[in-house]
Copies of this chain bind each other. A is one copy, B any other.
Amino acid sequence: MIPIITAFERSPDRGQGQARDMRVRWALEEVGQPYDVRLVSFEAMREPVHLALQPFGQIPTWEEGDLTLFESGAIVLHIAERHAGLLPQDANARARAIAWMFAALNTMEPPIFDRTIARILERDEPWYEQRLAVLEGRIRKRLGELAARLGEADWLDGEFSAGDLLMVTVLRRLNGSELLEEQPNLAAYVARGEARPAFGRAFDAQLAVFTAASKRESGSGGRI
């Protein structure tokens, strides 16, 4: 059975792979599981049929027979539990890899995502510069702690795991910022993740959605 995920019909980041379907696509590519994608518009995401799948009107979702799931972290864990390659066999190592999944989403992502949101929604507010400095201070603190833990290792705890997969997608939100460059081992860690063939296939697949949409909009006789 081929699972179906949802993704944005129109990429808000112009195909940079920052939307959360990227995490699920990457996990699926790592384990070699084919999947289908249903694209949803921003309007359709607020409709009852989508809210039944995703109560917060977001993407991605997961449909596999009579199972539906939401939350990218939960979907990645679901994939990792059912296929080899994203979680260690050893029970303790597996629990630690899952701890890194939660660290990525509950410790690292909130301040990093706040910065993304502030840069979009608060740029014209009188407090923007001050607020950004506060946020970046919080992010720097977490990056410093993470860099200290990673040290010279390739991955956070032994082999590449779902914890690294989520952490790399979270840190990628800082691509091109000084924040990430200030920690060379973290910048190299992100690059190491992005160099994985499965990442490349997932990235290309989500970019193709944006490219196709752009062609439709600029082409002759295309839909809009």
Contact = CB atoms under 8 A, between A and B. Distances in A.
A59 B113 CA distance: 22
Nearest to A20: B106
Interface size, A (range): 35 or more
A164 interface: no
A78 B95 CA distance: 7
A114 interface: yes
B110 A98 contact: no
Interface of A: 51, 55-58, 66-75, 77-78, 92, 95-96, 98-99, 101-103, 105-107, 109-110, 113-114, 121-122, 125-127, 130-131, 134, 142, 145-146, 148-149
8 pairs of A and B residues whose beta carbons are closest in the complex = A127-B127, A74-B99, A71-B102, A55-B149, A73-B102, A110-B110, A74-B102, A105-B106
A66 B51 CA distance: 43
